Structure 1
Amino acid sequence: MSEGRPACECIICRDYGDRGRLGNFQLRTIVHISQYGWSMVLVPPVGDGPGWAYTVGLWHSLRSPELAMFGGDVYEMEEILNALGRQAGREGPPADGERRDDVVRGRPAAFRGVDPGWHERAFHGAMAFYRGRPLPFLQVVWPDENGLYPWQPGTELPFRRSQPWLWLSPRQHPEGVWTHRLTAPA
């Protein structure tokens, strides 16, 4: 561990004698992180719920918060998160409450810290990689075509539903904002 860098307890950094029992998802994740610095999990939309994408390995490689996006095309979100990961490596990671310009289709994005109550529900792959240890996660949230973020008055209900408010605890989450399933496949 480098001076001043928090410890990483992931399946790469700590061997608890279980590496021989890792599944295909975890093995693929290790290969991607070894090659690229992080991996991606894409969760396609089901029914009228949004799909989402999130990183696994930014914390391991850069000590950057893992990033997640909801409500867009999963492959477009993958491209955006990869660009943000490269940017974190060059310029430093985004911070909770920060806004950056020209992130999503020429629009800005806001970064909001994800409440830990959502980690296992929405980011099971990351939690398995980090052995269930707490880690920082930021949600990348973008505004509608009028420049309004989902929490601002005047946004359409379908737009608000496409981006859950994971900076709030599951108990505080507004009813009807995210009607999608709460558990992502591993």
Structure 2
Amino acid sequence: MRVRREGNGHRVRLETELRSRVDSAGYAVLAVFDPEEEAPPLTYSLGVWRSFGVPEVVTVGVDHDLGTALVEEYVCRSRDGERFKPGRPYAGFLDDLPVIFERVSPAHHADWLGSAAVLYPDRAFPMVQLLVPDPLGLWPWQPDAPRDFVQSQPVLTASGRPESWNPEVERQ
């Protein structure tokens, strides 16, 4: 579901549609865009915490088609019982590169995940960010990562840096 970042005019229709999707499928995937393109693309799940007991997931700075595919893969694998630990690399999301998860700080819920209030009005839900490397395998926090890549994929932890990532685990 693609959602435009705008005022409250469409809020009631959006909330009704989100609730309907979550009630029927157990979750919804939202691809949020800014008409002025000031913010990076944002795609996230809504309902997986309530339906499957796993954290919601978000991608930032990944185009919506890929972001939706990544979120769907996370939901399917989670629904099948797989659990994802922050800071560890996981294969099978991208063809040749691993992805990593980091816990999203609740301080980011209101600014980045406004529609989550439909299901979680108190904003008390866990969320992880699915982070992708660039085509050469560099993560946005690594010194040689391209500047535009770093800016397009902010890390939504409390510190704005990876808090669980362990490069030694990745090399194993």
**What TM-score bracket applies, with the shorter chain setting the length?**
0.7 to 0.9
Of 70, 95, 118, the match for 2:60: 70
* Aligned residue in 1 for 2:152: 162
Amino acid at match of 2:118: A
Amino acid at match of 1:32: R
For residues 68-106 of structure 1, the C-alpha deviation after alignment (integer angstroms, 9 at most, x for no partner) is 001121122112101110100113332222321131343
Gaps of 5+ in 2: 1-10, 162-172
Sort the Cα spacing of 1:52 and 1:32 in 2 relative to 1 into closer, same or farther, 3 A.
same
Q: Is the 8 Å Cα contact of residues 165 and 173 (structure 1) preserved in structure 2?
A: yes
Secondary structure class of the residue paired with 2:79: helix
Q: Is the 8 Å Cα contact of residues 68 and 139 (structure 1) preserved in structure 2?
A: yes
CA distance in 2 between counterparts of 1:128 and 1:35 reads 15
* Aligned residue in 2 for 1:97: 87
The answer as to 2:135 corresponding to 1:145 is yes
Secondary structure class of the residue paired with 2:19: helix
Secondary structure class of the residue paired with 2:45: strand
The answer as to 2:99 corresponding to 1:109 is yes
Secondary structure class of the residue paired with 1:42: strand
CA distance in 2 between counterparts of 1:53 and 1:164 reads 13
Q: Is the 8 Å Cα contact of residues 65 and 93 (structure 1) preserved in structure 2?
A: no
Mapping of residues 8-157 of structure 1, within 5 Å: 23-45=12-34, 46-47=36-37, 49-157=39-147
CA distance in 2 between counterparts of 1:173 and 1:138 reads 13
CA distance in 2 between counterparts of 1:136 and 1:39 reads 16
Q: Is the 8 Å Cα contact of residues 41 and 56 (structure 1) preserved in structure 2?
A: yes
CA distance in 1 between counterparts of 2:69 and 2:24 reads 17
TM-score, normalised by the number of residues in structure 2: 0.79
Number of equivalent positions: 150
C-alpha deviation, 1:139, in angstroms = 0.3
Higher helix share goes to which structure? 2
Amino acid at match of 2:21: H
- Of all paired residues, the percent bearing the same amino acid is 23
C-alpha deviation, 1:127, in angstroms = 2.6
Sort the Cα spacing of 1:119 and 1:48 in 2 relative to 1 into closer, same or farther, 3 A.
closer
Secondary structure class of the residue paired with 2:59: strand
Q: Which is greater in Rg?
A: 1
